[in-house]
Every structure is written in structure tokens, then in C-alpha cells.
Amino acid sequence: MTLLLLAGTAEAQQVARHLADEGRAAVASLAGATRAPRAIGLPMRIGGFGGDTGFLRYLAEAGITAVLDATHPFAARISERTARLCAAHDLPYCQLLRPEWGPGAEDRWTGIAAEEEAAAHIPEGATVFLATGRQGVSRFANLEGRRLICRVVDPPEAAFPMPNGTYIVGRPPFSVEDEIALFTRLCIDWLVVKNAGGAASESKLAAARALKLPVAMIARPPQPEAPCVATVAAAMEWVRAL
């Protein structure tokens, strides 16, 4: 068996370490959104596959016999394509999808279905921290009259796409104390977050709770109808059963 691990999450890094420790033949694939990614103990390929045809060609050329999809919960197009093509070609597929976050009694969350809906809830004059990544920043173009700050892992190659915004650079993990200090220094009024789930990036929500900041929580996109597990342990059980 040669496993293709679609990576890019903290859970994928844990799976990769387990696969390496057990001596299993596997390749980790990263989309390339982050420059100079950390080594995860497996051979890595970086970049897209080139659509359906390119993906199928890679599977054949690399001798892939199963796919474990541990991509980000918002990488919906990748997951949909992978599940669909694996099903069509009788290739074992499983998605590792961590549980969503849920609000506690002291949280001030407003659920939204898409980035564009944030403007209906965030008042003009607010300073907004976009914890949503660089790729979707242009979808907040209707947040005129607000100061926008987006944190990115790598120094940006282009200026912020709107005149009322700026990037700051930071590489996770971030402690709750670090997030509280950052939000306080930047005078943040609102936090916008994708409901990615997972403990690795939950510190920003704990900081918002401590500072009593309102949070616009973007709902996850639909996920493929395919075998799915919620934990690294369950993912490894699936791998061992192949």
C-alpha cells in the first residue's frame, strides 16, 4: 500500500508522524499556500495536481492505493474532488474532519454563512481582525469604513487589496496570552473566524472571550458524502485496516 496524505493541518502532521514511525509507505501533499512548510516526516509534494486529469495521473504514476484527506475543513473543493474521483475509481478514501467549535455561555458569536455577510453585523468605525487567511481577503471588500487587519504566515508579496486594510505576519501556534496582548495592542473591536475547529487555533477564541469581543463565525462549507473520522486515532485505525 502507498497512501496519499492530503495534508495542511495540525492533525495531518500528527498522522504523518505516526505513518513515519510505523514505516508505512506514504506521501504527503501540500497545496503550497505556505512557503517553506515544516518537515512532517514523510516525502512531500507541493502544489496543485492540475484538475481531475492531473490528479488521476498522479495517483497512477505514484502507485497510490488509498487516500487520507486531512486538509482544512474549508478546502471544500479539494475534498469534494478527491472523494468523487476515489469513489469513481474504487480507491479507498477517508476524510479526517475535526469537530466544529461551539460557543460557550460567555462567547459573543454571530454566525454567518459567508465572508460577505460580516458587513451586516460589524459597525462602521470598528477595527476588525480577520483570522481567515490571505486567500479570501477580497471577499471583505464591502467592509468599508472599518479598519481591517489580516494575519498571514508568510510576508505578503502584494499589498492588501483594499485601502482600509493591512497584513501582519505571524506563524502559529499562538498562546491565549499572546492573542490577548495582540488584540489589546491593535485595539481590536471584532474578530472574524472560519469555524475550522481544533485545539491548535482555538486560542484566538479564548482571547476574544476574555476580552468580551464579538466574533463573526463563518460556517463550514458542505463536506463530501464519504467515509469520515474525527480524530487522528480513528484515522490511523482506518489506515491500519486497509
Distance CA 115, CA 124 (A): 16
Listed as ranges, residues in the chain with pLDDT below 50 are: none
Query: Which grid cell is 98?
Result: 475535526
pLDDT at residue 232, rounded to an integer:
97
Query: Which grid cell is 48?
Result: 496543485
pLDDT at residue 223, rounded to an integer:
96
pLDDT at residue 51, rounded to an integer:
93
> Among 116, 117, 154, which residue's Cα sits nearest to residue 134?
154
pLDDT at residue 60, rounded to an integer:
96
> Among 42, 52, 113, 104, which residue's Cα sits nearest to residue 83?
52
Distance CA 218, CA 204 (A): 15
Q: Which residues, 6 or more positions from 1, have their beta carbon under 8 angstroms from its beta carbon?
A: 24, 25, 65, 66, 242
Supply the pTM of this predicted model: 0.90
pLDDT at residue 238, rounded to an integer:
98
Pure H helices in 69-175: 76-88
Distance CA 89, CA 93 (A): 11
Report CA-CA distances (Å) from 234 to 15, 40, 68, 94, 239.
10, 19, 12, 10, 9
pLDDT at residue 44, rounded to an integer:
92
